[in-house]
Structure 1
């Protein structure tokens, strides 16, 4: 039963990632592209967690935590660059 639920979740996340890639490519503004990139990172985190549940190992959860940290820092860096023109003051 958990295998079927994981396959459905992977399919839903894959569709969501494809829609985010479309927004990333066709975004009318830079802010829309940054938001799409951040949402794509969130989809990747969800995909890694579902794969970890499917395989029944905790290694994938540690990878998801690394994606969370990197995704947060890149979003902050992009926003600071757009607002101020530089990342490090």
Structure 2
């Protein structure tokens, strides 16, 4: 039963990733694109955790932590670039 729930959850997060890609490609403003990119990072983290549960290994959890750190830094850097035009002051 848990395998069916994991497959359903992976399919839902995969569909969410596709919707985020559509929003990145067709977003009318840069704020929409930034928000879609940040949501995409969250969906990738969720997929990595689900893969870790499915395969029973801790490697996917470490990868999820790395993606979370890089995703946070990239979102902050991109927002600073959009607002100020420069990342490093």
Q: Which runs of 4+ in 1 moved over 3 A?
A: none
Q: Which residue of 2 aligns with 1:28?
A: 28
The alignment's TM-score, normalised by the length of structure 1, stands at 0.97
Query: What RMSD in Å do the two structures reach over aligned CA positions?
Result: 0.6
Displacement of 1:83: 1.1
The alignment's TM-score, normalised by the length of structure 2, stands at 0.97
Q: Which residue of 1 aligns with 2:67?
A: 67
Number of positions where the alignment pairs a residue of Structure 1 with one of Structure 2:
89
Any unmatched runs of 5+ in structure 2?
Answer: none
1:8 match: secondary structure: helix
1:10-61: per-residue Cα shift (whole Å, max 9, x none)? 0000111111111111000011001101111111010000000000111110
Q: Which residue of 2 aligns with 1:8?
A: 8
Any unmatched runs of 5+ in structure 1?
Answer: none
Q: Distance in 1 between matches of 2:63 and 2:5?
A: 21
Displacement of 1:2: 1.7
